[in-house]
Amino acid sequence: MLTIAEVSGLIAAAVMIVQYGLPAALVVILVKYVGIENTAVTWSVVNRTISTTIWPHLLRADAANTRQIPPRVQIPSWTATAGAALLVLASVITPLGLYDEIVPGESKLVEFQYVKDPGPWGRVTMPRPNSQFTRQCEVGTVINCPGQYQGVYMAETEPGVWRSIETDENSTINITIPENFTTMFTSATSDQGNTVSGLFDIQYRRWKFNQNGIINKGQPYVRGDSRDIGTLITQDRILLTEGLIVDMRDNPGIGFRNHTIPVGLEHGGTWNEDITWIEPVTKCADTNLSVELRIENTVDDFSDNNTFSIIDRGAFFGLDHTALESPAWIDNQTLDLFGRAHKAARMHNVLVASSLNISLPLDQDTKPLPKMLVKDTSSASPGMFSISSFDAIVLDQLRGVGGAPPSVPEYSGNTSIPFVNHYPDGFKKLLALNYSAIAQICRGYYEIGATDNDWRANNITYPAVQCGAVLGTPLQSPNEDISPSTYTGVETYQKNLYICASAVRASIKTVTFRYNGTGAQFGNLEAVHIADKVYADELSRPLWAAEHSYDRAMRFDPLWGIVDNRYHTMGYKEGFYTLRAEKLWLPTSPFLTGNFGESEGYDALAAASGFTRRLGNLYGGLSDLGGPDYSGQHDYTLLERYQRLSHNATVAAQIPSLKMTDGLAAGLVGTKTSISTRYVAWPASLAVDDTGSGIPRASVVEYRRVIRYDIRYAIPAIAMLALLLVALVWAAAILCSSRNIVQTLRNMYNQTSTGRLAVNLLRPGQGDAQQATREWVEQNGALALKFGQINGAKGDQFCAVVGGCDDAKAGSESLQRACDDDSAPQRPSRDVSSGEKKGGAEASTTVIPKQDSSGA
């Protein structure tokens, strides 16, 4: 499509064509019909008409001659010609530098309105129910959530049998949110124009009703529900869906925002908002182990000979049985995910060595071990040794690489050296003799005697961490370009194995939005930049609060969120600890491991249970049985991205984070808009403020259209202006210094015009050379002149006066004498009768004789 500048250039080119083409065409018409006999003034006009066109240059006529001309005439003449050509060039090129641009203008407050996502993410999102938030805690000896005991407890009625006991007729399990909790977790996010989402501004995208006779006296209550929508992992960009900002780039995460757009802007605008951001973070360590598949196709058999092998890339160097020992992690809110993954990878390799009958430690001079053929795959991760899905990835729990179950003799009951469960400095020593124990140590458990949750009391310093294995895609591309002459029948592929640790981090990020266009279209809204919020000082950083479990092991999903500064003194007594920091690692939950594959909690409090449930199912588990397929086996675009992320541990860490971000986007939604005027208050309701329009706190930088110019396209025009300036200054100087220059110019032009020049030559001495134009036209302008050699060589006269003066004959004789004095040979002159007597007077003829080819 042509731009305005290009159209302007084409118009200028068309104008130039018309400017030069039309006069040239009219001259052709003029010459056709002007004839050879006209008045003297007519010949002057004809000459002027022809001279102002391009014909003199095209015909290389006398007026365009460059020889036998003094420099004082050549230079101005050449300059005028070059200037004309430069003017044509400038007229066409100069407009091409024009372009318009939409740029940020002034900042102002404008009205915003809610806009719904018209796509599947908007259609799948259910309306918010007119029901209260609910919170359901662990079904154990304490079945009421903190702050809501109402006469129901669990008792062991007989050995191994636990039943709920109601103390009176009003007893119930109250799963609503207490008023003090509601007030606390809305204290920092409920002021007018606040765009930061709190505990109650994060909800499940879909929900359903449930009921139980002992819960809320049998009244129906809302709990989360899930629905597969479609993966976003293939889109390596920032996306906007209903209620969310989803970043699927290198550092994936989601921000919570019920989308609104500015209205009444001609070209749109841009603005910033502070958004609550959830970021799955993963760090991986390379085990230096690879799984190799060798496919051999022979001419002797219809089937392929497929073998799997374990490739050692230095996995066992520097390892011995002591790598299975570890202190409990105390990194707390300074979470060292890579350290955990690296420690887990070393432990993993010790157990792998046991399964593969590799004696540790190896000699320092030992090279990587030779290829080890896999014979027993029963204990390995499903898909690790699958031929049909070998090009896909595997995310699973720690299981090793097959072989016999690991056994470490140094820690068997027959050893003479007993295991000491603490270090010399008194710190507890943990020991991992199986893969489940490795995962528990990686998660940060203090006791690993059982496979369920750590029995240590939980608080804000105990982040939720999940660990597992990632087996990437093959590092070699399939042989798609081989030819029959190069085909050997053997194909080999390798996949690297990584051990990863993942956690979830909450923060506030500043998101820059841009809205293009004027219509209320969701597709015109985009998030163009996401950055950590910058704080002026320590006190301006958010104050995070997280629930703790006093001196007992936590059996519920802890509440967490941003609270007002007045809560900074809370501690053990209040059941919450606080932390002032830019970011918060979400606290752990018993459902990190103690779940049945569900991705949503049993209640409606998505911020408390939605993240840890997804984290708990990140590396395999029951959720893979009915959830979406993230392996890439049936989605080539998904597989392509995994292929880019499988070459080393650094980029492989994106794979679990992308999977979790995709799941969180499908399960959660933000309900707060930038124009909300009513916020969650006790009793907390899932229904949100449905304000359709309003004025937000953020100022919008409105876009405006401006005209820009690329100065490079002005170079011909600048040169033309420079030439014009020089000429004008020079001419002005001459005009000021020579008073008669204008009169000289007039005389020069008149005396060299065709008609006057011919009359003066044919009738010398009979007129004033400096005679004014009006007087000359009245006196001699009507004199009839005939140019005899215009149409051909039929006549021999060059120019003759054919009528209009009584003394034409005398003038002819004088001219003849002048011609006779010329040194060049000439033909004799003769009179040519041009007409009959008219009105009794005989028309006289004065002739300029024709010269032969040897004349001057």
Report how many helices (DSSP H) and strands (DSSP E) the chain contains, helices first: 18, 31
Residues 181, 161 share a domain: no
Q: What is the mean pLDDT of the segment spanning 195-214?
A: 91
pTM of the model: 0.79
Task: Please say if the pLDDT value at position 73 is more than 90.
Answer: no
Predicted local confidence at residue 682, as pLDDT: 76
Domain containing 158 equals 137-174
Residues 297, 225 share a domain: yes
> Lowest-confidence range among 6-20, 609-623, 732-746, 829-843?
829-843
DSSP assigned state of 843: P
Domain-embedded: residue 450: yes
Residues 217, 117 share a domain: yes
User: What's the pLDDT tens digit per position in 377-428?
Assistant: 888 888 899 988 899 999 999 999 988 888 888 887 666 567 788 888 888 8
Residues 758, 658 share a domain: no
Domain-embedded: residue 9: yes
DSSP assigned state of 333: G
Task: Please say if the pLDDT value at position 60 is more than 90.
Answer: no
pLDDT band at 822 (very low <50, low <70, confident <90, very high): very low
Structure-model confidence comparison of residues 733 and 771, the more confident one? 733
Residues 633, 499 share a domain: yes
Tell me which range, 33-42, 239-248, 379-388, 416-425, is most confidently predicted by mean pLDDT.
239-248
pLDDT band at 291 (very low <50, low <70, confident <90, very high): very high
* Dihedral, 796, 802, 805, 808 alpha carbons, nearest 10: 20
pLDDT band at 828 (very low <50, low <70, confident <90, very high): very low
Among 698, 717, 751, residue at a domain's last position: 698
pLDDT band at 838 (very low <50, low <70, confident <90, very high): very low
Domain-embedded: residue 422: yes
Residues 281, 352 share a domain: yes
User: What's the pLDDT tens digit per position in 174-189?
Assistant: 888 999 999 999 999 9
> Lowest-confidence range among 111-115, 342-346, 543-547, 743-747?
743-747
User: What's the pLDDT tens digit per position in 777-821?
Assistant: 888 878 888 776 565 555 556 677 776 644 433 443 433 343 344
C-alpha 807: how far from its chain's center?
A: 91
Residues 250, 157 share a domain: no
Which of 276, 349, 267, 278 has the alpha carbon at shortest distance from 316?
349
Domain-embedded: residue 196: no
The whole-angstrom separation of Cα 134 and Cα 145 is 10
Q: Which two tokens stand for residue 212?
A: 């139980």
The whole-angstrom separation of Cα 261 and Cα 268 is 9
Domain-embedded: residue 685: yes
Q: Which two tokens stand for residue 360?
A: 């540790």
Residues 168, 215 share a domain: no
Domain-embedded: residue 48: yes
Q: What is the mean pLDDT of the segment spanning 210-233?
A: 87
Among 638, 673, 698, residue at a domain's last position: 698
Residues 163, 127 share a domain: no
Task: Please say if the pLDDT value at position 843 is more than 70.
Answer: no
Predicted local confidence at residue 471, as pLDDT: 96
Residues 544, 648 share a domain: yes
Tell me which range, 11-20, 149-158, 522-531, is most confidently predicted by mean pLDDT.
522-531
Predicted local confidence at residue 356, as pLDDT: 92
Structure-model confidence comparison of residues 353 and 140, the more confident one? 353
Distances (CA, A) of 476 to 384, 395, 647: 17, 20, 10
Task: Please say if the pLDDT value at position 840 is more than 50.
Answer: no
Domain-embedded: residue 262: yes
The whole-angstrom separation of Cα 686 and Cα 204 is 10
Total domains in the fold of the chain? 3
Domain-embedded: residue 92: no
- Taking 3-state DSSP, the helix, strand and coil percentages for the chain, each rounded to the nearest 5, stand at 30, 25, 45
Dihedral (CA of 590, 594, 600, 602) sign: negative
Residues 156, 118 share a domain: no
Query: What's the chain's average pLDDT?
Result: 84
Residues 229, 152 share a domain: no
